Structure 1
Amino acid sequence: MQDGKQEQTEKGANRPRRDDVEKLLVGAIDLHCHSGPAAMPRILDHHEAMRDCAEAGFRALVYKDHFYLGTPHAIMLEKLVPNTGVRLFSGIALNNAVGGINPHAVNHATMIGAKIVWMPTLSAENHIAQTSGQAKTFPKTTQKMLEPIPLSALDASGKLSDDTRKVLDLIAEADIILAGGHLPAFELHLVFDEAKKRGVKKMMVNHPTYVVGCTDEDIRQMVSNGVFMEHSICMFVEGRSKKYGPDKLKHLIDIAGVDRTVLCSDLGLVGSPRPVDGYREIVATLLDLQVPEADIRKLIGGNAASLLNLDA
C-alpha cells in the first residue's frame, strides 16, 4: 500500500512538469522532419507525423527527404486532411537524385511552393569523406543505391560554382530558406557570404557540430552574418542518434544566442523517438536548464515561423 501511495505521489509531482511541456509545444514548428515514404527506413509516414503535430498543437511541419521534393506531398496532405491547425511544407535537397546543385530543379521547386533548399547532404563530398568518421552512423537506405557522385559548392578553382550562384539567385527571388546541408564549414562561409550579397535573407546551418564541423568561432561569424543555427533534437534526446548532453545544448544556444537558434527534430529515424516525443524531451531538458519559457518558444517555434514567413 505504501509503495502504491508513493507511486501516486510521484505521478502527481510529475504532472505540473508534463503540463508545462505540453503548454510550450502549442505553436511549435519542426523544420526538419524525416517521415516517409523514404528510401531510408522511417518509423512514421507524413500523415502520422502531421497527426502527431496536430494533437500536440504544432503550428507547422516541414518534411525533409534526401532524395525528393516533398512539396506536392505537403500540399495534397494539407488539402486531404483539413482543419488540423498544422501548416505543411517541404523543400528540396540538392543531392544526386535531383541532379546535384541543379538550378533547374530549384527553379521548379520554388515555382510550386518549396520553402527551403538544402545544399547537398548525403551526396556532399564532405559527407562522403566522413563515412568512416562522424557520418559512419548516418542512416543507410533500405536497398543499396548507386554510388554517390561527390558534390561541392565550389568549382575546380576553389570558387563558388556558376550553378551555386544561380541557385542562390533563385532562392533570393523566392525569399525562401537556404540551408547548408552537409557542406563543410569553410564552404558554408563562402556560400553564405555570396548568398547575402545576392539578396538571400533566410540562411541556416544544419546540425553545425555534426559532419559540418563548425567551431564556436565559425558559429559566431556566421551568426554575425545573419545565419541561423539549427540544432537537431535527435542528437540530444534518448535514442541511437544521441551524441550530446544538456550542457552542450546550453553552450550552443549561448554561443549563437536564442534569437539565432532553431531546434528541429531531425527525427523519424529507426531507434529514436517520434518527432513530437523528441520535442517533449527537449523542452523538459530546457526547463531543467532554467531556460525562460519565452526563449523556449522562440527556439522551438518563433524563429522558425519567421523563416517560413508565417507572420508576414
Structure 2
Amino acid sequence: MPDTHLDAALDARVDAILRGAIDPHVHSGPSIAARAVDHLELARDLSAAGFAAVITKDHDYSGVMTAALIARHHPDLTTRVYSCIVLNNVIGGMNPYAVEHCAAMGGKIVFMPTLSAENHLRWEKTSGYAHPASTQKIRPASAVPVLDANGAVRDDVKEILDVVARNDLALASGHLHVTETWKVFEEAQLRGVKRLVFTHPEEIVDASLNDVRGIAAMGAFVEHSICMFLDGSKFKVRREEELADFIEAAGVGQTIIASDLGQVGAYHPLEGMRRGVRLCLRLGYEDGQVRQMVSTNAARAFGLEADVARVLGH
C-alpha cells in the first residue's frame, strides 16, 4: 500500500514551493480555440494555491484589457494577472501600434510569431498538427517573416525591437526557428532589449542543447513548457528525464518552468505546475532550485519581483 504520510509530506512540499510561483505561459480563454479555463477562473484557482502572478497568452489577441478588469474588480485575488502580445496575423504581424498599446496597458511580453511563423508553417506540414481555430473559424495562417531575403533582420522587426526596448518589455522567441532566434536576439540586444526568453526549445523550434547553452550565455532565460515532458500529457514530446538535460544546459538560474496549458483535454495549468515541481524533485533538484525555476527566475525575466515579495511577505 502507498504510504499516505509520505504522499502528504510531498504534497506539502510542493505546495510550499509553489507559494509565490509565476506561470508565465497559460492558454486560458476566451479564445477562438477551445479552452478548459478562462482568465478569471485561472486567477481564482492559482490564488487558492498562493501563486504570485500569471501571464495569459492567446495566439490572436492581447489579454491586457481582461487583466485590467480582473485587477479592478477582484483586488482580493492573490494572483496578479498579466498578459502579452503575439505577433501573428490577427493583430497585424509586426504591428508597432499594437505592441505600444500592449505596453501602455501593462503587458509584459512580446512574442515573435507563433502560428504565423515561417518555421511553424513548415513544421505543421510534417507534424500533423493544425491549430483548430485557424482551420475552422478563420482563414489559415500566412507567414510573418522576421528575416529578409539576405538573412538579415527585417526593418519592421527592428521597429518592434525598438518598442520592446523603450518599454522594457520581455521579448520571447515564439515559434521562430532557432537560427532565426539567434539573429533576432542578437539584434534585440544591440537595440537595447534587456529581457530575452527562449520559448520551448524542446519542440517546434529545432533547438539543440548547444543552442540552449549559447542562448542562455547571452543572458536569455530558457522557458520550458512542462506539458511537453509530463507523463499523461497529450502534448508530451520528450521523456521526463530529458528535462534535466535542458536545465543543465542553461543552468538553474536561467531556466523558467511554465505550464503552456489551458487547453481542453489537458492538465489544468495548476496541476501541470504541480506535476512539474514533482518531476524536478524526482530529478534531484533541491527545493530552492525548483523555486527559482517556478518563481524567482520568471520574476526577474518579466519584472514581477514585487508580486513575489508581496505574497511571500518580504
User: Normalising by the residue count of structure 1, what TM-score does the alignment of the two structures yield?
Assistant: 0.94
Query: Which whole-Å CA distance do the structure 1 matches of 2:147 and 2:24 have between them?
Result: 26
Query: Which whole-Å CA distance do the structure 2 matches of 1:119 and 1:289 have between them?
Result: 32
- Alignment partner, residue 271 of structure 1: 265
Runs of 4+ in 1 over 3 A off after TM superposition: none
- Alignment partner, residue 60 of structure 2: 67
Pair 1:17 & 2:25 matched: no
Query: Which whole-Å CA distance do the structure 2 matches of 1:116 and 1:137 have between them?
Result: 25
- Alignment partner, residue 207 of structure 1: 200
- Alignment partner, residue 226 of structure 1: 219
- Alignment partner, residue 309 of structure 2: none
Shift of 1:246: 2.4
Query: Which whole-Å CA distance do the structure 1 matches of 2:151 and 2:33 have between them?
Result: 33
Number of corresponding residues: 304
Q: 2:249 aligns with which of 255, 269, 274?
A: 255
Query: Which whole-Å CA distance do the structure 1 matches of 2:280 and 2:103 have between them?
Result: 35
Pair 1:308 & 2:302 matched: yes
| Larger CA Rg, structure 1 vs 2 | 1
Q: 1:193 aligns with which of 162, 186, 195?
A: 186
Per-residue CA deviations over 1:173-216 (Å, capped at 9, x if unaligned) read 11010000001011110000010111101001111121111111
Shift of 1:139: 4.2
Work out whether residues 121 and 182 of structure 1, in 8 Å CA contact, stay in contact via their aligned partners in 2.
Answer: yes
Q: Please, what is the CA RMSD of the aligned residues?
A: 1.4
Q: 1:114 aligns with which of 101, 107, 112?
A: 107
Shift of 1:10: 2.7
Structure 1 unaligned spans of 5+: 1-5
Matches within 5 A, 1:1-312: 6=1, 10-134=3-127, 136-137=128-129, 139-141=131-133, 143-237=136-230, 238-311=232-305
Shift of 1:217: 1.3
1:30 is paired with a residue whose SS is strand
Query: Which whole-Å CA distance do the structure 1 matches of 2:174 and 2:194 have between them?
Result: 17
Q: Which moved more, 1:152-161 or 1:276-285?
A: 152-161
Amino acid of the structure 1 residue aligned with 2:86: A
Query: Which whole-Å CA distance do the structure 2 matches of 1:178 and 1:138 have between them?
Result: 25
Query: Which whole-Å CA distance do the structure 2 matches of 1:215 and 1:13 have between them?
Result: 37
User: Normalising by the residue count of structure 2, what TM-score does the alignment of the two structures yield?
Assistant: 0.93
Work out whether residues 152 and 183 of structure 1, in 8 Å CA contact, stay in contact via their aligned partners in 2.
Answer: no
1:189 is paired with a residue whose SS is helix
Structure 2 unaligned spans of 5+: 307-314
Shift of 1:15: 0.8
